[in-house]
Amino acid sequence: MQNLDVTLVQCELAWEQPEDNRRQIDEILANSTADTDLVVLPEMFTTGFSMNALANAEEPGGATEAWMTGLAKQYDCAVTGSIAVRVEQGVYNRMLFATPDGVQHYDKRHLFRMAGEHKRYQAGEQRVIVKWRDWRILLQVCYDLRFPVFSRNREDYDLALYVANWPAPRRHHWRQLLIARAIENLCCVVGVNRIGADARGLEYSGDSLVVAADGSLLEDALNNSVATTVELDADTLQKYREGFPCHLDADRFQLE
């Protein structure tokens, strides 16, 4: 494995204004001087966490997917974040992972019933791990963070990504659970959240984090509007796993 430079984009989101949000992110990345391997955007970064699923949903291969692919080619990196995507079965909260060579995706499995997401969106079924620059990367979206069985490392990934619109009143949960997922899975964890307020008046505190496998914080974006780049050290991860191989005593299980 080589080291991986990861850029976290933490910003406010314009409510249901995809073009404005894409333009804002273009400007943020253009003003960032760091080279990167992976750009991570928040959940539903084109609209905010809107339940107007059909009105906001794009077709597969639509404007935002094409834009992400363009960014990936422009910066020679991967770009990921979630948007609403409409297919024959319905609308999914879909996390896209775009590289210069194509796009993979993960459909959010755990839908946030307290906001009625389960009534407006279809739940994904498959756990998705992508490979990028020697790293095996687990894709996860927001509420998935509360369900550790689904994200249990079966020695099949090195980095877990969580993209979110996680409200400020539960920021303590967000921060602690990101650290817990890193410790229990012997992996690096990146969590990217938004800041500001949405059209419903919900406040978001950001708190985007990069966490090492031992639970130590490599980056804490606090409540800032920022694009910050962190290098994940492959040797440090491997040596920690070798020195503390608790995965060898993990319980076997099967998801149904």
Among 117, 120, 127, CA closest to 256: 127
Question: What does the alpha-carbon distance between residue 86 and residue 9 come to, in Å, rounded to a whole number?
Answer: 25
Spatial separation of the C-alpha atoms in residues 141 and 164, rounded to whole Å: 6
DSSP 8-state class, residue 196: E
Kindly list the catalytic residues: 43, 108, 142
CA–CA separation, 162 and 227 (whole Å): 16
**Side chain identity at residue 164, one-letter code:** A
Q: How far is CA 58 from the centre of its chain?
A: 19
CA distance 240 to 86: 42
Cβ contact 128:106 at 8 Å: yes
